[in-house]
Structure 1
Amino acid sequence: METASAARESAHTEDSHLKQRLGYWSLVATGIGSVIGSGWLFSAMYAAQTAGPASLIAWVIGGAVMLAVALVFAELGMVHPESGGLVRYPLYSNGRFAASIVGWSMWVTYVANPPTEASGVVQYASSYIPGLFAHQQLTFLGIVVAVALMAVFVVVNYFGVQFFARSNNIVTAVKICIPTLTIVMLFFSGFTHTGKAGGADNFAAGGGFAPYGIGAALGTIATAGMVFAYTGFRNIIELSGEVKNPRRNIPASLVTTILLAIVLYLLLQTAFIFGVPQHLLGHGWSGINFDSPFAQLAMLLGMTWLYWILIADSMISPSGSGIVFTASNARNVFGLSKNRFFPGWLSKVHQGSGVPRRALLLNFLVGILFLLPLPSWHQIIGVTGTLIAFTFSIGSVSLVAFRRAGVAQKADRLPGMVVIAPFAFIVSGLVIYWVPWSELVLTIPIIAVGLIWYAVNFITQKHGWSEVKGGIWLVVYLVVMYLMSFVGDYGGLKLIPAPWDSIVVAVLSAALYLWGTQSGVRYMLGRPKLVEELRTGELTEEEAAEEGLGERA
């Protein structure tokens, strides 16, 4: 069996092969390139279907949560920049059990992104290429085309981070212009009622501002693709081991990405509401259903030229995002392999390109499997959106543990985290709870598979109970969320009426946050050599063996 010291020595060797070539603008392009993917093409319609104009409230809440979460990970990225960091930070703060649960869930959401983006491209393409999309899902031919597109994402990333960065910068510039043009034209059509666009009158049409209640709007944060749309920022953290001057560039690029995303998606949602012709609202907002939302809306309003631009962009925007997530998920697998959750051979980095190519190929093969049972953009998002919110929760816990254990020095601490960290944790819990029970229950088998996989690793790698203790609170957190959803007002038994159900969830989340941070601090203070390594970035083989991270305690 591989010893802890040998495993860590191998991990350090592979880390050294990564190239630190990404600056501020490349990171912003990475974040925006992920944010402006298929989400902007579909989320406005699905949010309007579920919540009507009240979907604007959901975008604001979702944006506030993502900004808080981004600031949490910004500090972690400053303190300890590391590729695959999102799955490494829970390992350092709470041990292998917690890191395995979060890492598995995060990997599932990441590996689902390229097929999500590819299916978005194919769904839009179906408006001019028959036979790709029918009955609200991809056909067999559509799946084949989506797989071919995923292969292109892999090829772009295969030849190195610099090639990836240059190509992504160009694609991102194009991706910003098209949504901006769409916003301007739909607003213009709404104000002039060109093509009988509803304009501002649509805020009162179709049942009013909140035709299905505020609760429906809250539920869209995870299920309509909002969390999915905002989460492009996390790719900046995943690539943090390849960043020049991380102390400056990571927080600056994260904040820039989130603020631009909030403004963009609020304007897109408003523009969509403005542009919908009122005669389509006879059955309310739930009756609005387009295969290619913005493109078909442009055609209805008589803007054929915009229709063709959007059709062209439907290939560029999702593809650019798919390329970014393909790069980031390779680093995610790289981190999980260093965690010894996945086999060690997956952490191999190709020396010439600086890319973990084996991880790229694994993700491509697993991504294909997503398209078989979930052959549409909306179906994939419905399952993974909730998991994304869950994976953000532990970042706040890791931040507090890093601070109290002395890893985060004052120069690396962002102001306001005493409030921002618990806010990010508590509201992430609320976002999970607001998902209707019928959709939340679909995540249980995914979590169960991750727990079984960890149990195998626990036995074969002889982790020891100290690795489990640091993560027990996280299992309780999941159980509490599932139970509250089952008995609550969002598709559950309605035993606790709104808004008391959300208040109870917030209080329970706060208690679990305190438990999680205390567990993290105890875990780190019990491993002084680990804390020293994180503080200095240096650890000898003898110290690693003495520390025994991952060995039986």
Structure 2
Amino acid sequence: MDQSSPATATGRQSAADAQDHKLRRELGFWSLVAAGVGSVIGSGWLFSSMYAAQDAGPAALIAWVIAGALMLMIALVFAELGMVRPESGGLVRYPLYSNGRLAASIIGWAMWLSYVANPPSEASAVVQYASKWWHGVYSAKTSKLTALGTFVAVVLMALFVVVNYFGVKWFAKSNNIVTAVKLGIPVITVVLLLASGFGANSKAGGFSHNFSAHGFAPYGISAAFSAIASGGLIFAYTGFRNVIELSGEASNPRRDIPRAMVVTIVFSIVLYICLQLGYLGSLPGSELAHAAGWNGVNLDSPFADLAKMLGFTWLSWLLIADSSISPSGSGIVYTAANARNVFGLAKNGFFPRAVMKVSDRTGVPVVAMLVNFVLGAGLIVLLPSWHDIVEVLSALAALTFSIGSISVLVFRNVGLGGSATRLRGMTIIAPLAFAVASLVIVWQPWDTLWKTLIPIGVGLAWFAASFAIGERNKGDLAGGLWLVVYIAFIYGVGALGSFGGADIIPAPWDSVVVAVGAVLLYFWGVRAGTTYLSNHHELLVVLKEREGDDTDIIAKTQRPQG
């Protein structure tokens, strides 16, 4: 990595070091678990079961298993990265270390613009559920928030910022309490819905009836694959990444990060499969018949409405109350994590130094939080719907997560980390995670997938502009060219494939082409990253010296080259 002059590098490094040391390492294992699980139990559990069933019927269960397996593999990848290099904002820093500025520009911008959508999605979920008692905030006809609802959601996002302003310790304590409270409600919901669905009765349709009424896969198995992204399943699982975003503030990252991530993902998989089973089995047969199929079932407040249909009025009101607690708790966590994401981008040089500023009093990157708030408020005005937001976000999340699989093997190839920081089976897990993530991207309907090219284009434009004005390092091009080819390949197959594309490459051959191509491009990316990092000797030396340290090091090793 280089800058246009030594003075630029030294100045940015001094600023980064000064801000890094203000971050406070006060998050223990349970606080990290609460950050992960607290993000998972947000709006995703309230809506994803219904939208997945709309897309795929009972075959949505297949989608949850695939999505859960993918998230578990990706969590293991980032767990190892987090042990080798715990760093606040690490998700946008690892591509910079392993493959240079071109790769980091694309992934960094896409990651930021996708993650900044989390607090708006949580706020919109709160308002949508609140429409059960607060009429006028949500329109069932358009399935969008009204002007009043949008205003309320923006105010709620502002409250997320206020909670985080008082520091990571205050955030951790409040989030631990909120997470403990809201854990019980989905568990109670699962138990009651599963119990009601074991046999058909006057209210619940039952598993035997509902699974056979329109067939297990009424819209084809390919619909189950599409549901992974379009149904919000990837979005529902993404809470685990907040453990990594906050890793620079972990008191014992090597011990706690992998354990917290695995606990978060395993809990999520079990919870969401049980919720989906409960939804599929307990939906009244009359409701399914009236809707003429799963894709016609459209409930404003899915589980609350379902509880009321089944006669669990008290549970219905409990769910309405929780619809404010769960998404709000997740919104608070995402606001904290996203601020660290922008903090990392600022250290990368993608934002002005002012965005890097950490409050002397609270140890929080306040400016970064405000930047996210402004962009998030604009997003909720443009997309005043939970489903609209998460459709685009899910495809971007799969893309941005996949890069970690490259970084983890690059780090190993150049000798970063030792036996204590290496997880077994990673040489198989990493490429497999990359291939499955690539499939999830191309399984997204094309009319949604193409929209994700916008943030990717912004990242490319930013890199091109910085390269043109003198921040040049030929290693950046070689280290990141594979990613440009990979994106062109994936989106090209998406445009020509069977998931809403031209169907020139029919199913299942579009998936086969992507899987094979992704594996080949994966090893190109690893080789390119290994060459890049091996050629940046000063960076590699400092990385090895500071394994487990979260102080900024990129600028320390930057020198003008060519």
Q: Tell me which interval the TM-score lies in, with the shorter structure as reference length.
A: over 0.9
Moved more, 253-262 or 405-414: 405-414
Structure 1 residues 194 and 129, CA gap change in structure 2 (3 angstroms): farther
Distance in 1 separating the partners of 2:25 and 2:194? 42
Instruction: After superposition, give the CA deviation of every residue in 1:16-40 in whole Å (9 maximum; x if it has no partner).
Output: 1100011111011000001111000
Distance in 2 separating the partners of 1:188 and 1:354? 47
**Which of 429, 449, 452 is 1:440 aligned to?**
449
1:302 aligns to 2:311 (yes or no): yes
How far residue 382 of structure 1 moved from its aligned partner, in angstroms, is 1.1
How far residue 459 of structure 1 moved from its aligned partner, in angstroms, is 3.1
**Runs in 1 of length 4+ with deviation above 4 angstroms?**
192-195, 543-546
Aligned to 2:190: 183
Distance in 2 separating the partners of 1:441 and 1:545? 35
Contact residue 447 and residue 500 of structure 2 kept, 8 A? yes
**Which of 353, 365, 373 is 2:374 aligned to?**
365
> Which letter maps to 2:41?
I
Please show how residues 305-320 of structure 1 align to structure 2 within 5 Å: 305-320=314-329
How far residue 195 of structure 1 moved from its aligned partner, in angstroms, is 5.0
Aligned to 1:173: 180
**Which of 189, 207, 211 is 1:204 aligned to?**
211
What is the number of equivalent residue pairs in this alignment?
Answer: 550
1:9 aligns to 2:34 (yes or no): no
Aligned to 2:34: 29
Distance in 2 separating the partners of 1:381 and 1:77? 26
Structure 1 residues 546 and 350, CA gap change in structure 2 (3 angstroms): closer
Instruction: After superposition, give the CA deviation of every residue in 1:472-510 in whole Å (9 maximum; x if it has no partner).
Output: 111111110111011111111222222222111101000
Aligned to 1:72: 77
Contact residue 11 and residue 347 of structure 1 kept, 8 A? yes
**Which of 492, 499, 502 is 1:493 aligned to?**
502
Aligned to 1:388: 397
How far residue 205 of structure 1 moved from its aligned partner, in angstroms, is 3.7
Aligned to 2:546: 537
Aligned to 2:460: 451
Aligned to 1:377: 386
How far residue 281 of structure 1 moved from its aligned partner, in angstroms, is 1.7
Contact residue 207 and residue 282 of structure 2 kept, 8 A? no
Aligned to 1:127: 132
How far residue 371 of structure 1 moved from its aligned partner, in angstroms, is 1.0
Contact residue 406 and residue 531 of structure 1 kept, 8 A? no
Secondary structure at 1:3's aligned position in 2?
Answer: helix
Aligned to 2:260: 253
Distance in 1 separating the partners of 2:416 and 2:409? 10
> Which letter maps to 1:58?
A
**Which of 321, 324, 327 is 2:336 aligned to?**
327
**Which of 347, 363, 367 is 1:354 aligned to?**
363
TM-score by length of structure 1 reads: 0.97
Aligned to 2:297: 288
Contact residue 197 and residue 205 of structure 2 kept, 8 A? yes
Instruction: After superposition, give the CA deviation of every residue in 1:60-88 in whole Å (9 maximum; x if it has no partner).
Output: 00000000000000000000100000000
Secondary structure at 1:494's aligned position in 2?
Answer: coil
Distance in 2 separating the partners of 1:303 and 1:266? 21
> Which letter maps to 1:414?
L
Aligned to 1:107: 112
**Which of 420, 423, 440 is 2:429 aligned to?**
420
Secondary structure at 2:382's aligned position in 1?
Answer: coil
Structure 1 residues 546 and 47, CA gap change in structure 2 (3 angstroms): closer
> Which letter maps to 1:62?
A
> Which letter maps to 2:63?
A
Aligned to 2:281: 274
How far residue 351 of structure 1 moved from its aligned partner, in angstroms, is 1.9
Please show how residues 129-148 of structure 1 align to structure 2 within 5 Å: 129-134=134-139, 135-148=142-155
Instruction: After superposition, give the CA deviation of every residue in 1:497-537 in whole Å (9 maximum; x if it has no partner).
Output: 22222111101000110110011000100011111111112
How far residue 456 of structure 1 moved from its aligned partner, in angstroms, is 2.5
How far residue 464 of structure 1 moved from its aligned partner, in angstroms, is 2.7
Secondary structure at 2:198's aligned position in 1?
Answer: helix
Contact residue 200 and residue 208 of structure 2 kept, 8 A? no
How far residue 463 of structure 1 moved from its aligned partner, in angstroms, is 2.9
Distance in 1 separating the partners of 2:317 and 2:156? 20
How far residue 547 of structure 1 moved from its aligned partner, in angstroms, is 3.5
Distance in 2 separating the partners of 1:545 and 1:326? 27
Instruction: After superposition, give the CA deviation of every residue in 1:232-287 in whole Å (9 maximum; x if it has no partner).
Output: 00000000000011111000000000000000000000000011001122211001
Structure 1 residues 204 and 470, CA gap change in structure 2 (3 angstroms): same
Aligned to 1:483: 492
Moved more, 507-516 or 496-505: 496-505
Instruction: After superposition, give the CA deviation of every residue in 1:450-481 in whole Å (9 maximum; x if it has no partner).
Output: 22222223334523332222111111111101
Instruction: After superposition, give the CA deviation of every residue in 1:320-375 in whole Å (9 maximum; x if it has no partner).
Output: 00000000000000000000011111111112211000001110011011112211
Structure 1 residues 207 and 534, CA gap change in structure 2 (3 angstroms): same
Contact residue 93 and residue 521 of structure 1 kept, 8 A? yes
> Which letter maps to 2:70?
V
> Which letter maps to 1:126?
S
Contact residue 13 and residue 556 of structure 2 kept, 8 A? no
Moved more, 456-465 or 263-272: 456-465
State the superposition RMSD in angstroms. 1.6
Contact residue 199 and residue 205 of structure 2 kept, 8 A? no
Contact residue 346 and residue 355 of structure 2 kept, 8 A? yes
1:548 aligns to 2:558 (yes or no): yes
Distance in 1 separating the partners of 2:483 and 2:314? 51
Gaps of 5+ in 2: none
Aligned to 1:399: 408
Distance in 2 separating the partners of 1:497 and 1:127? 43
Distance in 2 separating the partners of 1:544 and 1:354? 22
Secondary structure at 2:486's aligned position in 1?
Answer: helix
Please show how residues 516-527 of structure 1 align to structure 2 within 5 Å: 516-527=525-536
Aligned to 2:87: 82
Contact residue 5 and residue 544 of structure 1 kept, 8 A? no
How far residue 383 of structure 1 moved from its aligned partner, in angstroms, is 1.0
